[in-house]
Amino acid sequence: MALLKDVNGYTTITTESDGVYLTVFPPSGKGTRVTLDDVKKELQKYSIKIDNPAILNQAVTLASGKPQKVTSSKPDSLQEQVFVEISDDEMQAKVTIVPPQSENDHFTTIDDVRNTLKRRNVVYGVDETRLAELSSKLSQLESTKNINEPIEMDIAFGTPTTNGEDARIEYLYKKTEEEAPAPVAEDEEGRVDYRAAHKIDNIMKGTLLARKIPPTKGMSGMTVTGKTLAAVDGKDIDVSMGKGVVISPDNKDEWIADSDGQVIIKENKISVLALYEVPGDVNLSTGNIDFIGTVIVRGDVKDGFKVYAGEDLVVNGVVEGAELKCSGKLSIAGGVSGNDKAKVICAGDANIKYIRNTIVEVGGSLTCGQAIMHSKVTVGQKVSVAGQKGVIVGGQVIAGEQVHAASMGSNFATPTEIIVGEAVGLRDELQKMETELKVSLENLDKTKKGIQFLKDLQTKMGGNLPPDKKELLTKLTRAQFKLMADSKTLAEKKQEMEKKEQESSEDRRRHAKVTCMGIIHTGVKITINKASRQISEELKYCTLTESDGEVKVGPFRGN
């Protein structure tokens, strides 16, 4: 059922041929009733005298909304000509002007209209432009003695209230599930890499995330009868901040990221989480993953996909021919099988169930639950293939300090190489530096030869080189000085690395060893501190170390 609108009771007065009629309308909702005093004041405005007070009392009491004759006398003709109708909400007033009975009677003027508006208490919002238009029409009626054309015009308008707007949050970073994914780019041949279709929006610490727009004040309104209509001010709101979000030091109504990560907005609560979770597999539905924080994959990483994590990386399933990289720790519960395509790079420690046909680079230590098979594994510290059946077979395993397994190689003399005692990270950097220095020196040599050729040509030509040859000589001379400076810098860095590698080698030499709880099969080559030994007969339950430039075999001394 619709709720009744709150409207006060009101009256109308009409003049008929037999007298004056009063109509009293009842209120609706919580509106107030018309009183006897209200009616008397209304009649006095028009100088109307009633014939019988009892009839007036009855009309007010009943408030039937039906016309009730109150007098047989008519008001003067002037008052009959101008009628003002005020809307129920008193936000609009309409003027109705009826023509005189004859062309000899008084014609209504604009002053008459103003006086009637004043008597009806229309004191606000009178439109002067419309009054001017009405004045023109009245003058035209009087000049033409037109007694047949009535005039109606909305003449006054109230000002409605304007309630204040509630405070709101403007999200300067917001990505919702409803947003359409970005179109997948094609290469020059029209091919699409759907693996790269998914993009995780990472943000950095200090990024502006949200801003509160304060509530506004309401603006009061006014009826045409001068009644003030109160407005409602906008409401303030509380902002809920989650993890990784703080108030901006520059503006108390702004919020910034307090950490790197992914923005999560849920139920108007904004958080920055340094963790991205894939609920299932990494496949075409997700695309490649590249996230600034920790990544958790609840399923598998399918063939050909990439997962990069700025911190830790956890895979609950298996990795199939994919590429993984993380700056923290790595855990692969189901192991990795590369088919010669997989590559795993981890800056910290790694725990992997098994490794097969994969390139693995670990900055810390590697623990493998079952086996390392036909892979190239490079580890900064220790490699441990745990368990009574843990095996290293095929490929190459390089560790800075130690390699441990239950067995190494196979009954088929599968070529297997184990290298211990190298500063893996420094070695790679040193090799890179040596390559860069070699290229720089070669370019320097070529530049010097080019300069010498041009100088010899200049001598043959009596000291005058063609303009293009002069320009080339200038460029080569500048390049020579730059290459000399670059070569010197690279040589100094290489010398520093060699010194650092030499300083750390003594500690590595003391701890470098290979331990085996079971059998080291023939076909295995073991290098410790650059000393090598090709296993020609099976070794059991032993520890291998380096001494005096040779690989020595001793009893098993534990991991």
Residue 185 has pLDDT above 60, yes or no: no
**Has residue 42 got a pLDDT over 90?**
no
302, 317 Cβ separation under 8 angstroms: no
Tally of CB atoms within 10 A around 288:
21
Neighbours of 341 (CB within 10 A): 15
Tokens representing 408 are 């190494």
The whole-number average pLDDT for the span 126-133 is 93
- How many percent of the chain have pLDDT more than 90? 42
User: Assign residue 90 a region: left if phi > 0, alpha if psi is -120 to 50, beta otherwise?
Assistant: left
Q: For residue 445, with 0-12 CB atoms within 10 Å meaning exposed, 13-18 middle and 19 or more buried, which class applies?
A: exposed
Residue partners of 317: CB distance under 8 A and separation at least 6: 281, 297, 298, 299, 300, 301, 333, 334
pLDDT tens-digit readout, 472-531: 888 988 989 988 988 888 888 888 877 776 666 666 667 899 999 999 999 999 999 889
272 forms beta bridges with 263
Q: Give SS3 for 474.
A: helix
DSSP 330: E
DSSP state at residue 275: E
Alpha-carbon separation of residue 420 from 98, 283, 334, 431, 526 (angstroms): 114, 37, 27, 18, 8
Rounded to 10°, the helix 128-144/110-119 angle is 130
Question: pLDDT class for 78, splitting at 50, 70, 90?
Answer: very low
For the chain, the domains span 10-157, 168-179+195-263, 274-364, 426-510
Helices 36-45, 53-62: axis angle to 10 degrees equals 120
